[in-house]
């Protein structure tokens, strides 16, 4: 199960990113754990300097952007051409 963390203090963009992450996981049929990280010290531990931030399995993959569900889907399940 993948863990998706939304990094932000609770602004509207952070809330929208959480909703978009939920939608992306639902569209993919992925079983994910969603977590909101609101403590600034915890956000900084990810190396996130601009919110909202998005981390997947503890790895910061986006910051300062309100990603759309289709963009998040690509981060949750990247295309592998091997």
Q: Residue 77's pLDDT is what?
A: 85
The strand order across the sheet containing 59-63 reads: 32-37, 2-7, 53-56, 59-63
Give the pLDDT confidence score for residue 75 in this predicted structure.
94
Domain boundaries, the chain: 2-76
Question: Of these residues, 4, 6, 7, 14, which one is catalytic?
Answer: 14
Q: Which CATH superfamily is domain 2-76 in?
A: Glutaredoxin (3.40.30.10)
**How confident is the model over 19-75, as pLDDT tens digits?**
999 999 999 998 899 999 999 999 999 999 999 999 999 999 999 999 999 999 999
pLDDT at 30: 86
Q: Is 14 a catalytic residue?
A: yes
Higher pLDDT, 79 or 24: 24
Could you tell me the two tokens for 21?
A: 């992450």
Annotation says 48 is catalytic: no
Q: Spell out the SS3 assignment of the chain.
A: CEEEEEECCCCHHHHHHHHHHHHHHHHHCCCEEEEEECCHHHHHHCCCCCCCEEEECCEEEEECCCCCHHHHHHHHCCCCCC
- Residue carrying the six token digits 């969603």: 34
* pLDDT for the residue 10: 87
Q: Which of 9, 10, 11, 12 is catalytic?
A: 11
Q: What are phi and psi of 62, to 5 degrees?
A: -160, 145
Please give the pLDDT value at position 79.
61
**pTM for this predicted structure:** 0.91
């Amino acid at each position: 199960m993948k863990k998706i963390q939304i990094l932000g203090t609770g602004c509207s963009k952070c809330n929208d990113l959480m909703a978009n992450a939920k939608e992306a996981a639902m569209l993919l049929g992925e079983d994910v754990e969603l977590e909101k990280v609101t403590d600034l010290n915890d956000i900084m531990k990810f190396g996130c300097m601009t919110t909202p931030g998005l981390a997947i399995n503890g790895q910061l993959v986006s910051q300062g952007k309100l990603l759309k569900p289709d963009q998040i889907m690509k981060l949750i399940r990247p295309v592998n051409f091997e």
